[in-house]
Amino acid sequence: MSKRKSKKIPAITVMSTLAVTALASSVSADTIIRNSTLNGLQVSSGASNANINAQGKITSISGDVVIKAPTTLKADSDATNPFKDAKVVIETNGTVTIEVPLKEVQINSNATIKLTPGKGSIERVSVAPGKNPDLPPSVPGVGSAPNVSLSMETGKITKGKVKLVGTDSTMEYQIKAKDSDSWGTAWTSITGRDIELTASKDNVIRVRVKATTTTLASQARELTVRTENIGNPVVVDKAALKAKIKEAEELKEADYTSDSW
């Protein structure tokens, strides 16, 4: 009996499609919204990098779009973008990528917001008290990055530390390792001017002006630590000097003769 060769079946990526009328929907995976009228949409916290793609000119969302997981919002065109007339509420601390124009965004988390150039935009944004999201500079109300730098006067900096020049108590900072995808520390308030921080070569430090009750946090300035920024003060050997001082202290009156001078 001849052996029949088995065929390999290719893996298939399944994407759910919403074509629902007058319902609030919850999704947890890549989803296409096609020709739908929704009372609201929620990306559940169990999702992982969900792509929500709107298609069809009669698609609309009348309620809030609540995002509880890392998500990308996209549409085939501006005409098929149902998100622009909805309020988008972001509750995830992950990354939310916006590839469509949005009118109103409420951020209740420490999310990182990314706008795809030429596609994504936000007209109005509000941030819940105590939250520190990362916002791109094109978002209205995000100020310019502060004018800070790393000192190169290594002889005047504590060994193993770096000095941030131009800081004040309105600012905050983060530090991460080279090539790391995530920041190793939370935003930390700066307490004074020209502060010293513990950092290693190739660490990246970013500094921004903190948010207030009436303003958003500014754009962040990123600084890469080089060898010439790390403190290495000159250590003076005082042993010989101390020996001479001790010798002088031990001299008695009889030792002061014309020969000793």
Residues 89 and 164 reside in one and the same domain:
no
The domain total for the chain is: 2
Residue 144 lies in a domain: no
Boundary-marking domain end, from 127, 157, 176: 127
CATH number at residue 160: 2.60.40
pLDDT at residue 158 is higher than 70: yes
pLDDT of residue 59: 80
Residues 183 and 82 in one domain: no
The one-letter code for the residue type at 95 is T
What value, to the nearest 5°, has the Cα angle with vertex 113 and ends 127 and 108? 30
- 116 Cβ contact partners less than 8 Å away, ≥ 6 residues apart: 97, 98, 99
Q: Phi-psi category of 153—alpha, beta or left, where left has phi over 0 and alpha has psi -120 to 50?
A: beta
Question: Is pLDDT above 50 for 43?
Answer: yes
Instruction: Give the range of the structural domain holding residue 182, as residue numbers without chain letter.
Output: 149-229
| Residue 199 in domain | yes
User: How far, CA to CA in Å, does 205 sit from each of 5, 91, 142, 212?
Assistant: 58, 26, 19, 22
> Does residue 228 register a pLDDT over 90?
yes
Residue 15: per-residue pLDDT: 42
Decide if pLDDT at 260 tops 60.
no
Q: For tokens 């193993």, what's the residue?
A: 160
Distance (Å, whole) CA 10 – CA 154: 59
Question: Do 183 and 215 share a structural domain?
Answer: yes
Span of 195-209, 213-227, 232-246 with lowest mean pLDDT: 232-246
Per-residue pLDDT, averaged over 210-234, amounts to 90
Do 104 and 24 lie in one domain? The reply is yes
C-alpha angle with apex 63: 59 to 66, nearest 5 degrees?
100
Same domain, 113 and 182: no
Q: Answer positive or negative: Cα dihedral of 245, 251, 253, 256.
A: negative
Question: Structure pTM?
Answer: 0.70
**pLDDT for residue 44 is more than 90:** no
Average pLDDT, the chain: 83
Of the chain, the percentage scoring pLDDT greater than 70 comes to 85
Lowest mean pLDDT segment, chosen from 23-32, 168-177, 195-204, 220-229: 23-32
85 within domain boundaries: yes
pLDDT of residue 9: 30
Residues 114, 172, single domain; the answer is no
Residue 186 resides in a domain: yes
Asked if residue 14 has pLDDT above 50, the reply is no
In a domain, 187, yes or no: yes
Residue whose tokens read 């005409």: 79
pLDDT at 10: 32
Q: Which class for 2: exposed (0-12), middle (13-18), buried (19 or more C-beta within 10 A)?
A: exposed
Q: Read off the pLDDT of residues 78-89 as tens digits, 9 standing for 90 and up.
A: 888 989 889 999
Q: Which residue has the higher pLDDT, 131 or 13?
A: 131
User: 89 to each of 55, 109, 154, 187, 210, how far by Cα in Å?
Assistant: 21, 10, 47, 22, 22
20 & 116 share domain: yes
Q: Which amino acid is at 115?
A: L
CA distances from 57 to 17, 79, 123 (A): 15, 6, 22
247 in a domain, yes or no? no
In a domain, 8, yes or no: no
List, for residues 96-108, the tens digit of each pLDDT value: 999 999 999 999 9
| pLDDT, tens digit, 9 for 90 and up, residues 48-87 | 788 999 887 778 888 899 999 999 999 988 888 989 889 9
Q: Are residues 122 and 39 in the same domain?
A: yes
Has residue 139 been placed in a domain?
no
**Residue 247, pLDDT above cutoff 50:** yes
Q: Are residues 30 and 118 in the same domain?
A: yes
Q: Are residues 30 and 119 in the same domain?
A: yes
